[in-house]
Structure 1
Amino acid sequence: MIDSARQIENLMYTYAERIDAGNLEEVAELFTHGRIVASPEAPVETAVTGRDEVLGMYQGSTRLYPCGTPRTKHVTTNAIIDVDDDTGTASARSYYTVFQQLDDFPLQPIITGRYHDTFHRIDGVWWFDQRTMLVDQLGDLSRHLLFELKL
């Protein structure tokens, strides 16, 4: 059996895998029992709760290409995970770097930042409780987002 910290780490990586595959509905499923809080500088709602609101946020902000993906790679690193198995809660801090490449856009990092996450366990399954996205550095996001993000 996989321990709780590894299950949570896998959940964090599943988020990156699904968004890079363009599976916005499956990304939203991860927040069925949770919410996302965006950086204060994002020109979108600062908090979206539950599957439907999270899906709406991603559909309104993520540029998808004919291949069905955003042509990105979300790399999550430096995960520090704290688990309280007795209460079924956990928290994590991690870094993210998003790379993008298109035919006319060379491979490059387009944004870096941090995730501050909380989790809760429901019927033995770990779920996102809250993901706070903090932006540290911006590159050229014009090919990824449907809005302009500034620091």
Structure 2
Amino acid sequence: MADASLDPLDRLTAERACERLIVEFVHELDLGEPGRVAALFTADGVWEWAEGDRRIEGRDGLRAYFGARPADRLSRRICTNILVTLTSASTATATRYFTTYRVDGHSGGMLPPRPPTQVGHYEDTFRKVDGRWLLSRRALFLAFGGPTENVGGAGGNL
């Protein structure tokens, strides 16, 4: 439930900070350094999957998990329908849809198009810590998912 007592400018600023975290997360995974996404979480942050027993806790665990991403993985995530709701002056929630295109074994160049590997949504919880908004929990919900294709060095130009 949204906190109606917040000043509209404070609300807008907080919502934008949370939206930016969502975008930074995707940017680091696809174009940056995956291990750096741990810095976007609170010290006790959690990443979990709604189905199964996959749960990563704490910045060190998150850094190790995301830092272990294969070096030859090529991915692009499309994020839409970001809806941030402030629940207090220092907490918020968000949902967003995502589509992930991903292959392993990429050695460079453009690849022919492939179907998405995953389609789903995230449910996020944010907390303001020392004046900075951070993710405290992210839960992943897949509607569609499949294995990551290994292209075995099938890069090249089209």
**Category of TM-score, reference length = shorter chain:** 0.7 to 0.9
Deviates most, 131-140 or 102-111: 102-111
Q: Paired residue for 1:147?
A: none
> Secondary structure of the equivalent of 2:100?
strand
Q: Residue by residue, what CA displacement relative to the aligned partner does 1:30-63 show, whole Å, maximum 9, x if unpaired? A: 124311012424xxx5211121101222244x32
Alignment RMSD:
2.4
Which residue of 13, 16, 20 maps to 1:3?
13
Mean Cα displacement is larger for which, 118-127 or 15-24? 15-24
User: Aligned pair 1:120/2:131, yes or no?
Assistant: no
Matched, 1:49 2:62: no
d(CA) in 1 for partners of 2:110, 2:76: 17
Counterpart Cα distance in 2 of 1:21 and 1:56: 18
- Long gaps (5+) in structure 2: 1-8, 152-158
Q: Percent identity?
A: 24
Q: TM-score, normalised by structure 1?
A: 0.77
- Judge conservation of contact 1:98–1:112 (CA < 8 Å) in 2: yes
Q: TM-score, normalised by structure 2?
A: 0.74
Q: Deviations over 1:88-128 (max 9, x none)?
A: 00000110111236569522322111100000001111000
Determine which structure has more spread, i.e. the larger CA radius of gyration: 2
Superposition misfits of 4+ residues, deviation over 3 angstroms = 100-105
Structure 1 runs not aligned, ≥5 long: 145-151
Number of equivalent positions: 135
What does 1:2-151 correspond to in 2, within 5 Å?
A: 3-33=13-43, 34-41=45-52, 46-60=54-68, 62-65=69-72, 70-86=73-89, 88-100=90-102, 102=106, 106-108=112-114, 109-143=116-150
